Amino acid sequence: MELTSLWGRMGYPEDAPHVVQGRGNNMVPAEYFTEENLRAVVDRHWTWVSSELAFVRS
């Protein structure tokens, strides 16, 4: 929920690694609110952070 809030405040930029149930997808709550999806979302965020850090450092 905090990640959704963060990206919402940022206007959901195109390169955001976050997925919101029902926003640009057909995920139902039973798919969205799972441990597997949470892990995938967190992994995408870590990948995004790593990419952004590499960009800033270059």
Q: How many angstroms separate the Cα of 19 from the Cα of each of 39, 56, 57?
A: 12, 24, 27
Q: Is the pLDDT of residue 33 over 90?
A: yes
Amino acid 42: pLDDT: 94
Question: Which residues span the domain enclosing 44?
Answer: 26-58
User: What number is the average pLDDT over the span 35-40?
Assistant: 95
Domain count, the chain: 1
Q: Residue 22: pLDDT above 90?
A: no
Query: Does 21 fall in a domain?
Result: no
Is residue 40 scored above 90 in pLDDT? yes
Token pair belonging to 57: 């450092």
In a domain, 3, yes or no: no
What is the structure's pLDDT at 56?
97
Q: What's the whole-number mean pLDDT along residues 25-42? A: 93
Please report whether residue 45 resides in a domain: yes
The predicted structure's pLDDT at residue 1: 85
